[in-house]
């Protein structure tokens, strides 16, 4: 019976029976995706559940047993732990300030480069160059440049008459700002993204606008911005989340512990210290991870909401 149906379906039918679908599609779908499905359960599903279970206990890595403590870890993080609040605050400042700076700089440079300048390729390469410094070496390179006594920047500041230049990363009052400045050097990557988008806008749009006598300013707000705004918003979300999750630079600048006096302690560093340094407080770190996840989720949803508001209005 089955054989007959199958033979017939080869000729005409568009509707296949389950059995036929299985031999032609389902079987192979399972075969090809099974590894990804297993991976999902092993490396996403299980860890998320386990992190939640841990967050309700006082487990440490080497403790044989642990107690169920309910929401105590969450309460402690939110109410008592000043380090948690501080690291979160600093991560937010870091992400927002360096994010805004990177966004403005990269967008501005992309626009300038798109205005038919000479040596476009050379400029683009130069802006991209800081990216070739491996991120684990970035900290050392800028520590050298900004060193209060042997750094070139303070020497320059001395030369122009500033006798008391900042101590940059060595002082708790300026260390976070220094990290923001260093991180802002990453504008080159985003600039390449924006430039690529700008170059895809058809030339004719501007030619028509020019004929109608629209100023460059007006052209930017009426043509350029509406076209690239969805992409810009998408990158704003990426930049913010990257900033909140930033680890490497702070790890190097703060010697892995937020030096000097916790002024470079970003949340991922604090979590790393809590979970993976003595005494390996897995339970508490897990609770912090959940709180952090909720904050990132909140940010993403907020930005999606905002982008709907702005991006839609501009598209017409």
Partner 1 sequence: MRSLKPYDKTKKAKTRRVFTYFLLITFAVVALLPLYYLIITSMKDLNEASTQATMFPKSFELVNNFKFVLNHPDYNFWRMFGNTMFIFVLKTTGTIITCSLAGYGFAMYKFPGKKVIFFTLLATMMIPGELLGVPIYEFMVNSGLKEVAFIPLWIAAWFATDVFVIFLFKQFFETLPKPLIEAARMEGASELQIFFKIALPLNKPAIVTVILLYFVGTYNDLYGPALYISDKKNWVMANSITIFENLYQSGSSSYIVPWNYVSVAALIAMIPVVLLFAFLQKKFMQSVAGTGIKG
Q: From the CB of 127, what's the least distance to partner 1, in Å?
A: 5
Q: Tokens for 45?
A: 């599903």
Interhelix angle 282-314/46-55, nearest 10 degrees: 120
Q: Using the rule CB under 8 A, is 163 a contact of partner 1?
A: no
- Which residue among 78, 92, 100, 133 contacts partner 1 (CB under 8 A)? 133
Q: Using the rule CB under 8 A, is 105 a contact of partner 1?
A: yes
| Site map 48..87 versus partner 1, x via CB under 8 A | x-xx--x------x--------------------------
Q: Using the rule CB under 8 A, is 220 a contact of partner 1?
A: no
Q: How many CB atoms lie within 10 A of CB 1?
A: 5
Q: From the CB of 19, what's the least distance to partner 1, in Å?
A: 14
Q: Which range touches partner 1 (CB under 8 A), out of 1-9, 47-55, 71-79, 87-95?
A: 47-55
**Nearest to partner 1 of 154, 264 (CB atom):** 154
Q: Which of residues 295-314 bind partner 1 (CB under 8 A)?
A: 296-297, 300
Chain-centre distance for alpha carbon 66? 35
Q: What is the CA radius of gyration of the chain?
A: 27
Name the 3-class secondary structure at 186: coil
- Which residue among 88, 103, 107, 271 contacts partner 1 (CB under 8 A)? 271
Phi, psi of 6 (to 5 degrees): -65, -40
Q: Which residues contact 253 (CB under 8 A, 6 or more apart)?
A: 139, 143, 169, 175, 178, 179, 182, 259, 264
Q: Which of residues 168-187 bind partner 1 (CB under 8 A)?
A: 185-187
Name the 3-class secondary structure at 68: strand
Q: Using the rule CB under 8 A, is 101 a contact of partner 1?
A: no
Buried b vs exposed e over 149-171: b needs ≥16 C-beta within 10 Å?
eebebbeeeeeeeeeebbbbbbe
Q: From the CB of 248, what's the least distance to partner 1, in Å?
A: 4
Q: Using the rule CB under 8 A, is 13 a contact of partner 1?
A: no
- Which residue among 28, 68, 220, 221 contacts partner 1 (CB under 8 A)? 28
**Nearest to partner 1 of 222, 245 (CB atom):** 245
Distance (Å, rounded) from C-alpha 66 to C-alpha 76? Answer: 17
Cα 289 to Cα 21, 168, 275, 294, 313, distances in angstroms: 43, 30, 10, 9, 36
Q: Which range touches partner 1 (CB under 8 A), out of 75-83, 87-95, 133-141, 198-206?
A: 133-141
Q: Which range touches partner 1 (CB under 8 A), out of 68-76, 219-227, 283-291, 306-314?
A: 283-291
Buried b vs exposed e over 254-284: b needs ≥16 C-beta within 10 Å?
beeebbbebbbbbbbbbbbbbbeeeeebbbb
**Per rule CB under 8 A, count of chain residues that contact partner 1:** 96
Q: Using the rule CB under 8 A, is 254 a contact of partner 1?
A: no
Asked whether the beta carbons of 69 and 283 are under 8 A apart, the reply is: yes
- Which residue among 1, 4, 31, 309 contacts partner 1 (CB under 8 A)? 31
Q: From the CB of 310, what's the least distance to partner 1, in Å?
A: 20
Q: Which range touches partner 1 (CB under 8 A), out of 70-78, 149-157, 220-228, 306-314?
A: 149-157
């Amino acid at each position: 019976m089955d054989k007959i149906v199958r033979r017939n379906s080869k000729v005409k039918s568009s509707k296949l029976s389950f059995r036929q679908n299985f031999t032609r599609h389902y079987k192979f779908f399972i075969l090809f995706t099974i590894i990804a499905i297993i991976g999902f359960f092993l490396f996403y599903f299980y860890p998320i559940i386990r992190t939640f279970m841990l967050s309700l206990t006082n487990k440490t890595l080497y403790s044989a047993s642990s107690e169920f403590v309910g929401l105590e870890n969450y309460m402690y993080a939110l109410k008592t732990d000043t380090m948690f609040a501080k690291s979160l605050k600093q991560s937010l400042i870091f992400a927002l300030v360096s994010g805004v700076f990177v966004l403005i700089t990269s967008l501005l440079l992309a626009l300038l480069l798109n205005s038919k300048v000479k040596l476009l390729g050379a400029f683009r390469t130069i802006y991209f160059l800081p990216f070739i410094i491996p991120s684990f070496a970035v900290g050392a390179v800028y520590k050298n440049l900004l060193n209060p006594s042997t750094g070139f920047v303070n020497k320059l500041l001395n030369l122009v008459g500033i006798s008391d230049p900042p101590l940059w990363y060595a002082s708790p009052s300026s260390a976070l700002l220094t990290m923001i400045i260093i991180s802002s050097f990453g504008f080159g990557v985003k600039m390449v993204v924006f430039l690529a988008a700008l170059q895809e806008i058809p030339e004719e749009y501007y030619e028509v606008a020019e004929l109608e006598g629209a100023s460059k300013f007006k052209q930017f707000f009426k043509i350029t911005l509406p076209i690239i705004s969805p992409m810009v918003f998408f990158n704003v979300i990426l930049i913010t989340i990257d900033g909140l999750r930033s680890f490497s630079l702070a790890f190097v600048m703060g010697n892995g512990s937020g030096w000097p006096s916790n002024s470079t302690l970003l949340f991922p560093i604090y979590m790393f210290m809590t979970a993976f340094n003595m005494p390996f407080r897995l339970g508490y770190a897990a609770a912090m991870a959940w709180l952090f996840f909720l904050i990132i989720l909140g940010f993403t949803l907020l930005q999606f909401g905002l982008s709907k508001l702005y991006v839609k209005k501009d598209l017409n």
